[in-house]
């Protein structure tokens, strides 16, 4: 019981870290605010975001394997698959945004140039879309934890 509580705490702490750094990306990634310092800061924020995403994934897998319920309880449940699919969709959107932010840093360091307004808005939309998926993930998790989702 203590192990499960600690695993749940670590998973929630990782999720909250994702929330903080995804929100930071959305706040910083604005045409009117983007300058050289912000481009560099976005790189740092993005690295911490990905560390937190990795922690969410790792703690989720650990909870699946060593949590209070056996792995078979979760593995056959479509709600877990929905939750994982949303997480992967979030990650896919974030990968595209992260690659763009990395290109911005390369261009800034090599030529001293910043991205144009359309590019900044495009990347911010990706970050915002990922951010809009995030609050949906706990819904299947809440039902899953209460035994819903079995039997098709």
What pLDDT does 70 receive?
85
Contacts (Cβ under 8 Å, ≥6 apart) of 91: 53
What pLDDT does 131 receive?
97
- What are the CA-CA distances from residue 118 to residues 2, 16, 30, 64, 146 (Å)? 50, 30, 10, 42, 45
Q: Tell me the helices (H) and strands (E) count for the chain, helix number first.
A: 6, 0
Q: What is the pTM of this model?
A: 0.93
* pLDDT over 80 at 151, yes or no: no
Q: What is the mean pLDDT of the chain?
A: 94
Tell me: the pLDDT tens digits for 122-150? Answer: 999 999 999 999 999 999 989 988 888 87
Return the minimum-mean-pLDDT range out of 7-11, 75-79, 89-93, 96-100.
75-79
- What are the CA-CA distances from residue 94 to residues 2, 20, 37, 64, 100 (Å)? 34, 14, 21, 24, 10
- What are the CA-CA distances from residue 90 to residues 10, 22, 98 (Å)? 20, 11, 12
Tell me: the pLDDT tens digits for 83-112? Answer: 999 999 999 999 999 999 999 999 999 999
What pLDDT does 97 receive?
98
Predicted confidence band at 51 (pLDDT cuts at 50, 70, 90)? very high
């Amino acid at each position: 019981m203590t192990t499960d509580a600690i695993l749940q705490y670590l998973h929630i702490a990782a999720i909250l870290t994702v929330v903080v750094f995804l929100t930071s990306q959305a706040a910083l990634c604005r045409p009117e605010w983007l300058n050289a310092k912000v481009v560099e800061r976005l790189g740092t924020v993005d690295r911490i975001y990905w560390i937190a995403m990795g922690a969410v994934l790792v703690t989720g897998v650990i909870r699946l394997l060593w949590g209070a319920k056996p792995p078979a309880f979760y593995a056959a449940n479509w709600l877990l698959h929905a939750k994982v699919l949303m997480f992967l969709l979030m990650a896919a959107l974030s990968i595209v945004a992260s690659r763009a932010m990395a290109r911005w840093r390369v261009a800034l360091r090599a030529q001293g140039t910043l991205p144009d307004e359309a590019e900044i808005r495009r990347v911010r939309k990706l970050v915002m879309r990922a951010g809009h998926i995030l609050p949906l993930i706990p819904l299947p998790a809440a039902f899953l934890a209460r035994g819903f989702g079995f039997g098709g």
